[in-house]
Amino acid sequence: MATTYDAIVIGTGQAGPFLTHRLVSAGMKVAVIERKLFGGTCVNTGCIPTKTMVASAYAAHMARRAADFGVDAGVVSVDMKRVKARKDEVSAQSRTGLEAWLKKMENCTVYEGHARFESPREVSVGSERLTAERIFINVGGRAATPQMPGLEQVEYLTNSSMMSVDFLPKHLIIVGGSYIGLEFGQMFRRFGSEVTIIEMAGSLIQHEDEDVSLAIKEILERENIHIRLNAKCIGFSKRGADIITHVECTTGAPEVSDGTHVLLAVGRRPNTDDLGLEKAGVSVDTRGYIVVDDQLRASAPGIWALGDCNGKGAFTHTSFNDAEIVAANLLDNDPRRVSDRISAYALYIDPPLGRAGMTEAEVRKTGRSALIGKRPMTKVGRAVEKGETQGFMKIVVDGQTREILGAAILGTGGDEVIHSILDVMYAKAPYTVIQRAMHIHPTVSELIPTMLSELQPLSGTADAKTTH
């Protein structure tokens, strides 16, 4: 006999717990199922632990730079056991808080185990059978481990197993030059490892504009991180204890020798392969992402998919926003949609990159009339005062509507400052609103109005001068 609920939530990532709270607050009886660690990726192996470690790496970096600020910090050494202990504590606080919240929540029953669909309305967890008219899938994803010659000969790490590292790898080879790889790369370099980042594409974080990608490469190389681009054919072998990484690059030696540890940071895959989706009639795309509509309904009625498993986003904030969208549609008679949101994210190297909306390249492709403003961080007083002048900020504006189309702030505080631009974009207000605002001195944000006063036509697009 199956136990009947009003709703079943599978997974306690960034969408499930908030949605559960909304559902029980609306009077529903809800079952929540978690197979491993409460809070999922962000809390246990993603954002929270990595950003906690980024903070340790920043402290080490600033301690080494202490003399630049007239401070004598002595010899700097990093105790990886303490770095890990701090990370574990911050992560555990979040996990246990969330677990206790769910377990104490009235009308919410927590099941611990792997959930699988048995039919469109029935889910099994171990020997238990649960049934509900509404089922919400928030199962997230995991590190992808593509086939690479010789990979079986080396004990590679992923973002999850990196969380157990309490020692300093002598030479960390990172395969993948995107967000996860770059964050770990700079972090471990600052802890004291030699780091080589190997990327198959011709640039790091290839979805970003070329100037952003190049500036990030320079920032990392300035810290003596080795970067190998265009590594078309990556494979591994062992020479004694050393890991040899074979790379067919357009430049440089054909192999990277002396590696002691390998981190694979080559993308993520959704946890949809062992969920019994076929028994529920839920369709997935060729990469395993659950196909959803603009309000996150899956192909089978009464089933929704939220977070990384639907392929509509790969961030904590997109997953949380998914929960808000579903709750608004189901409970508030508010037809919110995924397409209402503006792309926004950050890369947490130091200095960070804050991004909102379209890239300059994407704007160019549209061929529309557009204006661009750009300012190096060397011309931002606050950055100079902090001794953190690497990077730049830029903004692209529609030449006709004057609305902001996109921005990138690669510089100190970039992850925070970007929100002042993002909010104006959501308001669909013309850029002149922010241009005329009085900002606080001395901040990075105070230079955004200045940058907006110096807009130029974006070359290669329709002439924007007439409306400027």
Which residues are marked as active site? Answer: 441
DSSP state of 290: B
Identity of the residue, 158 or 369, whose beta carbon is nearer to ligand FAD in the bound complex: 158
* Pair of tokens at residue 347: 């890369």
Which class for 127: exposed (0-12), middle (13-18), buried (19 or more C-beta within 10 A)?
A: exposed
SS3 157: strand
Identity of the residue, 203 or 321, whose beta carbon is nearer to ligand FAD in the bound complex: 321
Residue at shortest CB range from ligand FAD: 140
* Pair of tokens at residue 430: 């013309």
Phi/psi of residue 122, each to 5°?
Answer: -125, 135
Give the integer Cα–Cα distance in Å for 352 and 409.
Answer: 8
**Shortest Å, Cβ 348 to ligand FAD:** 6
SS3 356: strand
Query: In the sheet where 235-239 sits, what is the strand order?
Result: 235-239, 242-246, 255-259
Ranges of H-type helices in 169-315: 179-191, 210-222, 277-280
Among 7, 57, 60, 115, contact with ligand FAD (rule: CB under 6 A) = 115
Tell me the angle at which helices 16-25 and 316-331 cross, rounded to the nearest 10 degrees. Answer: 20
DSSP string covering 418-453: HHHHHHHHHTT-BTHHHHSSPPPSSSSTTHHHHHHH
**Shortest Å, Cβ 183 to ligand FAD:** 7
Identity of the residue, 159 or 369, whose beta carbon is nearer to ligand FAD in the bound complex: 159
Residue type, 352: P
Among 314, 338, 361, 429, contact with ligand FAD (rule: CB under 6 A) = 314
**Shortest Å, Cβ 323 to ligand FAD:** 8
Question: Interface with ligand FAD includes 275 (CB under 6 A)?
Answer: yes
Of 303, 3, 27, residue with least CA distance to 138: 303
* Pair of tokens at residue 244: 């040899």
Among 23, 33, 57, 110, contact with ligand FAD (rule: CB under 6 A) = 33
* Pair of tokens at residue 81: 């056991």
Question: Interface with ligand FAD includes 317 (CB under 6 A)?
Answer: yes
Identity of the residue, 269 or 317, whose beta carbon is nearer to ligand FAD in the bound complex: 317
Site for ligand FAD in 144-173 (CB under 6 A): 159
* Pair of tokens at residue 219: 């920032």
**Shortest Å, Cβ 184 to ligand FAD:** 7
Site for ligand FAD in 358-377 (CB under 6 A): none
SS3 43: helix
Among 5, 9, 13, 383, contact with ligand FAD (rule: CB under 6 A) = 13
Size of the site for ligand FAD (CB under 6 A): 38
Q: Any idea which residue has 């265009």 for tokens?
A: 230
Question: Interface with ligand FAD includes 40 (CB under 6 A)?
Answer: yes
Question: Interface with ligand FAD includes 8 (CB under 6 A)?
Answer: no
Identity of the residue, 173 or 180, whose beta carbon is nearer to ligand FAD in the bound complex: 180
**Shortest Å, Cβ 234 to ligand FAD:** 20
Identity of the residue, 47 or 234, whose beta carbon is nearer to ligand FAD in the bound complex: 47
CB-based burial, 16-27: b 16+ in 10 Å, e otherwise:
bbbbbbbbbeee
Among 31, 34, 227, 305, contact with ligand FAD (rule: CB under 6 A) = 34
Among 20, 23, 32, 46, contact with ligand FAD (rule: CB under 6 A) = 46
Among 17, 84, 99, 140, contact with ligand FAD (rule: CB under 6 A) = 140
The bridge status of strand 261-264 relative to strand 171-175 is parallel
Among 7, 8, 9, 15, contact with ligand FAD (rule: CB under 6 A) = 15
**Shortest Å, Cβ 172 to ligand FAD:** 15
Among 60, 102, 135, 139, contact with ligand FAD (rule: CB under 6 A) = 139
**Which residues, in sequence order, are CB contacts of 423 under 8 Å at separation 6+?**
none
Q: How many CB atoms lie within 10 A of CB 15?
A: 34
**Shortest Å, Cβ 319 to ligand FAD:** 4
For the chain, the C-alpha Rg in angstroms (whole number) is: 24
Q: Which residues is 69 bridged to in the sheet?
A: none
- Binding span for ligand FAD by CB under 6 A among 47-55, 208-216, 245-253, 442-450: 47-55
Identity of the residue, 15 or 380, whose beta carbon is nearer to ligand FAD in the bound complex: 15
Site for ligand FAD in 177-236 (CB under 6 A): 180
Identity of the residue, 11 or 177, whose beta carbon is nearer to ligand FAD in the bound complex: 11
Q: Tell whether the torsion through CA atoms of 185, 191, 193 and 194 is positive or negative.
A: positive
Question: Interface with ligand FAD includes 420 (CB under 6 A)?
Answer: no
* Pair of tokens at residue 145: 């481990």
Contact residues toward ligand FAD (CB under 6 A) are 10-15, 33-37, 40-42, 45-47, 50-51, 114-115, 138-141, 159, 180, 271, 275, 307-309, 314-317, 319, 348
